[in-house]
C-alpha cells in the first residue's frame, strides 16, 4: 500500500484508515509506514498488527521534502542508531514479517547504507530493499550498483534491488551486477503494468487489445472507488498520460485527456483512440526505450513530476531547511 504516517495512525486519522482498505482480490498485501520517532513507529506497528495485512515495511527512503522535514523517510538514515531503535520497536510490536526500505544515504557526506543495513538486520528486519541512490540524487544520477553489491555482501538477510528497473534487461543487469535476491519495480510499472510479465517471462510485446483492456479496467476500477468525476478523475489524468506513451498519434489524445472532466469521457477517448489505431493496422505498442541503468531514460513517467512537484530536490533553500 502507499506509505502511511505513524502519527496519523496513532491519532486515528479518518483519511489514513480509509487508505487501509483491502480489496478481496488481493492475495498477499503489505502496508508501509514512516515515523518521526522510534516510539511512534512501534505504537503504529502495534495498531497495524491487528489489521488484515501480511507484511509491514518501514520506509526509510522516501525523499519527499515534507516527509523528510518531519524526520521521516530518508531523514531516518542520518542516524543508524535510530534505525536500530525503530526496527526493534516495530519487531517487538508485531508477529508479521517486517522489512525496511532505504537509500544509500542522505547526501555525499552522509552515506550510511552499510551502518543502516547492519542496524536493521541486528534489530530483526527480515529483508531490506535498497534504492541505489542518495536522497538528494535526482533520476539523472545512475543507480550505484557497486555500493548495492557491497551492501549485499555485508548482511545475511535478503536484499531487494530497486532503481531504474524498467524492463527484463534492466532487472538482469541489476541482478548480475549486485547479486540481489529480488527486484522492486516502481516507476517502471507506471503506465506499463505489463512490465511484471516481461520480467518474469521475457515477453516485451504489448498488443493493442491487452493495452486497451488494461486501461479500461483501470478507469473502471477508479470510477468504482472514487466516482466518475471530481478528484478521482483528476488523479487519473497522469496515469492516462503514462499509458499513452509508445503509441503513434498519442500526443493529440494526451492533450484531450488532461481536460477530461470525467472517467467516462476519458474512457471514450481511449476507445476512439484504440479504434483509430486498429484502422491504421497498428496492433502493437512501440518499445519503451531506456538507457537501462546508465542514466536518464528516453521514457520515464515520473521524471518531471517528481523533480518539479514531489521531491523538491535541488532547491537550495529547501535542502538547508531539512539538513539539520
Cα–Cα dist 195/204, whole Å: 7
For 132-188, how does the pLDDT look when each residue is reduced to its tens digit (9 = 90+)? Answer: 999 998 887 899 999 999 999 999 999 999 999 999 999 999 999 999 999 999 988
* DSSP letters for 169-214: HHHHHHHHHH--SEEE-SGGGTT-TTHHHHHHH-----BHHHHHHH
Q: Are residues 93 and 226 in the same domain?
A: no
Q: Are residues 78 and 158 in the same domain?
A: yes
CATH number at 242 reads: 1.10.1200
Q: Give the end of a domain, one of 202, 232, 263.
A: 202
Checking if the pLDDT of 237 tops 60, the result is yes
pTM exceeds 0.85? yes
Q: Are residues 93 and 230 in the same domain?
A: no
Residue 162 lies in a domain: yes
Q: Are residues 182 and 235 in the same domain?
A: no
Q: Give the end of a domain, one of 264, 279, 294.
A: 279
For 69-109, how does the pLDDT look when each residue is reduced to its tens digit (9 = 90+)? Answer: 999 999 999 999 999 999 999 999 999 999 999 999 999 99
More confident residue, 1 or 182: 182
Please report, to the nearest 10 degrees, the dihedral formed by the alpha carbons of residues 198, 202, 206, 207 taken in order: -130
Q: Are residues 94 and 142 in the same domain?
A: yes
Q: What pLDDT is recorded for position 138? A: 81
* Domains in the chain, number: 2
Q: Are residues 50 and 198 in the same domain?
A: yes
- Mean pLDDT, the chain, as a whole number? 89
Q: What pLDDT is recorded for position 301? A: 63
DSSP structural state of residue 313: T
Neighbours of 100 (CB within 10 A): 27
**Which value, in Å, is the radius of gyration of the alpha carbons in the chain?**
21
Q: Are residues 91 and 110 in the same domain?
A: yes
203 is catalytic: no
Structural domain containing residue 128: 4-202
Mean pLDDT of 283-300: 63
Mean pLDDT of 119-133: 98
Residue 245 lies in a domain: yes
Q: Are residues 34 and 173 in the same domain?
A: yes
Residue 312 lies in a domain: no
Q: Are residues 92 and 226 in the same domain?
A: no
Name all contacts of 236-239 with Cβ < 8 Å and 24+ positions apart.
Answer: 236/263, 236/266, 237/266, 238/305, 239/190, 239/191
Residue 315 lies in a domain: no
Residue 298 lies in a domain: no
The one catalytic residue in 62, 68, 203, 235 is 62
Amino acid at each position: 500500500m502507499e506509505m502511511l504516517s505513524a502519527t496519523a495512525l496513532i491519532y486515528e486519522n479518518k483519511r489514513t484508515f480509509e487508505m487501509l482498505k483491502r480489496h478481496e482480490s488481493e492475495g498477499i498485501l503489505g502496508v508501509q509506514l514512516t515515523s518521526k520517532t522510534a516510539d511512534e513507529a512501534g505504537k503504529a506497528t502495534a495498531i497495524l498488527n491487528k489489521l488484515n495485512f501480511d507484511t509491514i515495511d518501514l520506509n526509510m527512503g522516501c525523499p519527499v521534502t515534507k516527509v523528510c522535514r518531519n524526520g521521516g523517510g530518508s531523514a531516518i538514515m542520518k542516524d543508524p542508531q535510530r534505525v536500530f531503535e525503530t526496527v526493534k520497536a516495530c519487531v517487538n510490536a508485531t508477529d508479521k514479517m517486517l522489512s525496511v526500505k532505504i537509500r544509500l544515504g542522505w547526501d555525499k557526506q552522509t552515506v550510511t547504507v552499510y551502518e543502516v543495513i547492519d542496524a536493521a538486520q541486528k534489530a530483526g528486519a527480515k529483508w531490506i530493499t535498497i534504492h541505489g541512490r542518495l536522497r538528494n540524487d535526482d533520476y539523472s544520477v545512475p543507480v550505484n550498483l557497486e555500493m548495492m553489491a557491497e551492501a549485499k555482501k555485508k548482511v545475511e538477510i535478503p536484499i531487494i534491488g530497486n532503481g531504474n528497473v524498467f524492463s527484463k534487461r534492466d532487472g538482469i543487469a541489476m541482478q548480475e551486477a549486485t547479486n540481489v535476491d529480488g527486484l522492486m519495480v516502481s516507476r517502471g510499472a507506471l503506465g506499463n503494468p505489463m512490465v511484471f510479465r516481461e520480467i518474469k517471462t521475457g515477453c516485451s510485446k504489448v498488443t493493442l487489445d491487452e493495452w486497451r483492456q488494461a486501461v479500461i479496467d483501470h478507469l473502471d476500477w477508479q470510477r468504482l472507488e472514487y466516482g466518475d468525476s471530481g478528484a478521482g478523475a483528476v488523479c487519473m489524468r497522469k496515469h492516462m498520460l503514462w499509458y499513452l506513451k509508445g503509441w503513434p498519434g498519442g500526443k493529440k489524445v494526451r492533450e484531450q485527456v488532461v481536460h477530461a472532466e470525467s472517467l467516462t469521457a476519458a474512457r471514450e477517448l481511449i476507445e476512439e483512440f484504440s479504434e483509430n489505431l486498429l484502422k491504421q493496422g497498428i496492433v502493437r505498442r512501440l518499445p519503451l526505450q531506456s538507457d537501462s541503468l546508465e542514466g536518464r531514460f528516453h521514457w520515464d513517467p515520473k521524471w518531471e513530476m517528481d523533480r518539479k512537484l514531489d521531491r523538491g530536490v535541488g532547491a537550495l533553500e529547501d535542502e538547508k531547511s531539512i539538513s539539520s
